[in-house]
């Protein structure tokens, strides 16, 4: 069962570290250092084993200081305009001041969501069932993080889904 | 009456629809403080007015200094000196409380049962050890069993940070203990199984361990 997804242990570990960072921040939103430590560990593991992180995970980690970006708690999110029409979402890390600019484009489709990305390996039926079971696991473990009300605007379950999405990418 | 409306707890059904929950009083207070601190520039808490009354005003004229134009570095990453200066990873003393790390430990327990595929009492120790080598240990309860330095022996607590040569453990007395891995043996308790970690063989960063292969060697001593 464990051999079906390659690097399953590593993915579980990344998932755990990401959730641990959320858990620490939900306990005390001021404890940025520990969450940052977990996120940087997560990033170095992914870099060493050459694993691809899902964009939704990547966009919530600061590129400069590795801290977890949660709007209203450790980051600010603003809508900016450049030369009239083009609109950006600007996320600013509150601890190091580094900004992330994301273009607002409703038609943009992530590579992971495109059909070509899924076609790299032919899907097998038993594997998909396995992924479903891991999905349920990730959602269960995301629950303690669910309970916190760090950013009310955004439903907390998004992360759990994102991580399981990453699991789908691998297969 | 508006104030009581604002401070009232959200009813359960409404909270379910909106996706919100009321926090407990202390939790709400800390999060408000943190929010104020992060959103207001130069926030000093309660004594915000005191620096105004003591402020000395210089009446001399001084030429405004020209700021040197620094060359912008190309990358967005920080170098090691900057990281050290910013103290990226040191936990501040006000966060060194044991009860803050209990949820982390619960999360770790769920994680380890998931990794060991259920953690049944029938599963073989070799399988668990293989899994444990690649698993993450942040949040586990560690205790020092043997050590060359006898004063470390018996220290028990939740592992908070793992570095290359050192474990940082928070004990129940709200103290962060820094324990070197070399020359000491740690025990790890999980769901009825107890495994020992020989620290001298474990001297890597937490991130390097997932990529490294371990070799079996015969003799292990302190």
Interface of A with B in 109-148 (CB under 8 A): 137, 140-141, 144, 147
pLDDT confidence band for A57 (50 / 70 / 90): very high
> What letters, b where the CB count within 10 A reaches 16 and e where it falls short, cover B105-131?
bebbbbbbebbbeebeeeeeeeebeeb
Q: Using one digit for the tens of pLDDT, what is the confidence trace for A2-29?
A: 446 778 889 999 999 999 999 999 888 8
pLDDT confidence band for A155 (50 / 70 / 90): very low
**Hey, are the CB atoms on B91 and A34 less than 8 Å from each other?**
yes
The torsion defined by the Cα of B27, B28, B34 and B37, in degrees rounded to 10, comes to -150
Taking the Cβ of residue A85 and every Cβ of chain B, the question of whether any pair is shorter than 8 Å is answered with no
Residue B214, pLDDT above cutoff 80? no
pLDDT at B108: 92
Domain boundaries, chain B: 91-205
pLDDT at B52: 60
Question: Nearest CB to B139: which of A20, A37, A65?
Answer: A20
- Tell me the mean pLDDT in the region B110-127: 82
Q: Using one digit for the tens of pLDDT, what is the confidence trace for A76-107?
A: 999 998 877 889 999 999 888 889 999 998 88
Question: Nearest CB to B31: which of A20, A29, A147?
Answer: A29
Interface of A with B in 36-75 (CB under 8 A): 36-38, 40-41, 44-45, 48-49, 63-66, 72-74
- Token pair of B143 as six digits: 């205790």
ipTM (interface predicted TM): 0.73
Taking the Cβ of residue B19 and every Cβ of chain A, the question of whether any pair is shorter than 8 Å is answered with yes
Residue A149, pLDDT above cutoff 60? no
pLDDT at B141: 92
CA distance B24 to B128: 39
pLDDT at A126: 42
The torsion defined by the Cα of B115, B118, B120 and B122, in degrees rounded to 10, comes to -70
Q: Find, in chain A, the residue whose alpha carbon is nearest to that of B207.
A: A45
Mutate to test the interface with B, among A40, A42, A65 (most CBs of B within 10 A): A65
Q: Is B54 helix (H, G, I), strand (E, B) or coil?
A: coil
pLDDT confidence band for B44 (50 / 70 / 90): low
Chain B CB contacts of A2 under 8 Å are 117
CATH fold of B91-205:
SH3 type barrels. (2.30.30)
Highest-confidence segment of A127-131, B61-65, B214-218: B61-65
Q: Find, in chain A, the residue whose alpha carbon is nearest to that of B21.
A: A149
Contact A160, A137 (CB under 8 A): no
Chain B CB contacts of A50 under 8 Å are none
Q: Find, in chain A, the residue whose alpha carbon is nearest to that of B90.
A: A33
**Hey, are the CB atoms on B211 and A30 less than 8 Å from each other?**
no
- Tell me the mean pLDDT in the region B15-35: 80
Question: Contacts for B96-102 with beta carbons within 8 Å, 24 or more apart?
Answer: B96/B170, B96/B174, B96/B175, B96/B176, B97/B174, B98/B157, B98/B158, B98/B170, B98/B171, B98/B172, B98/B173, B98/B174, B100/A24, B100/A27, B100/A28, B100/A31, B101/A27, B101/B139, B101/B158, B101/B160, B101/B170, B102/B158
Q: How many angstroms away from the CA of A41 is the closest CA of chain B?
A: 6
> Could you tell me the pTM of the whole model?
0.71
Question: Nearest CB to B20: which of A94, A141, A149?
Answer: A149
pLDDT at B26: 83
**Hey, are the CB atoms on A2 and B117 less than 8 Å from each other?**
yes
DSSP codes of every residue in B92-160: PGGG--GGGGHHHHHHHHHHHHHHTTT--TTS-HHHHHHHHHHS--TT-EEEEEEESSGGGTT-EEEEE
| Separation in Å, CA B88 to CA A67, B100, B163 | 9, 19, 14
- Tell me the mean pLDDT in the region B189-209: 85
């Amino acid at each position: 069962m464990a051999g079906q997804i390659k690097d399953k242990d590593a993915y579980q570990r990344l998932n755990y570290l990401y959730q641990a960072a959320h858990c620490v921040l939900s306990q005390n939103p001021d404890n940025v250092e520990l969450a940052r430590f977990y996120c940087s560990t997560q990033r170095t593991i992914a870099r060493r084993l050459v694993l691809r992180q899902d964009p939704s995970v990547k966009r919530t980690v600061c590129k400069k200081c590795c801290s977890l970006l949660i709007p209203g708690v450790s980051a600010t999110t603003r809508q900016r305009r450049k030369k009239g029409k083009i609109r950006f979402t600007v996320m600013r890390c509150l601890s190091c001041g580094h900004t992330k600019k994301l273009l607002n484009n409703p038609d943009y489709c992530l590579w992971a969501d495109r059909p070509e990305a899924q076609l790299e390996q032919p899907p097998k039926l038993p594997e998909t069932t396995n992924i479903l079971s891991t999905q349920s696991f990730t959602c269960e473990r995301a629950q303690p993080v669910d309970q916190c009300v760090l950013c009310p605007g955004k439903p907390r379950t998004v992360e759990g889904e994102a991580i399981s999405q990453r699991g789908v990418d691998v297969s | 009456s508006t104030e009581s409306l604002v401070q009232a707890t959200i009813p359960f059904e409404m909270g379910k629809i909106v996706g919100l929950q009321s926090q407990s009083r202390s939790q709400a207070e800390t999060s408000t403080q943190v929010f104020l601190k992060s959103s207001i520039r130069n926030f000093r808490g309660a004594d915000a007015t005191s620096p105004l009354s003591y402020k000395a005003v210089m009446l001399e004229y001084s030429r405004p200094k020209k700021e040197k134009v620094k060359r912008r570095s190309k990358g967005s990453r920080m170098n090691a000196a900057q990281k050290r200066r910013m103290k990226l990873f040191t936990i501040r003393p006000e966060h060194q409380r044991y009860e803050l790390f209990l949820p982390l430990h619960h999360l770790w327990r769920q994680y380890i049962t998931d990794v060991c595929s259920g953690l049944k009492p029938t599963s073989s120790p070799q399988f668990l050890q293989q899994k444990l080598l690649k698993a993450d240990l942040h949040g586990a309860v560690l205790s020092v069993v043997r050590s060359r330095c006898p004063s470390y022996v018996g220290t028990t607590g939740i592992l908070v940070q793992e570095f290359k040569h050192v474990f940082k453990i928070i004990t129940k007395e709200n103290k962060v203990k820094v324990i070197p891995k070399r020359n000491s043996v740690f025990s790890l308790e999980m769901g009825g199984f107890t495994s020992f970690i020989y620290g001298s063989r474990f001297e890597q960063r937490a991130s390097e361990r997932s990529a490294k292969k371990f070799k079996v060697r015969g003799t292990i001593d302190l």
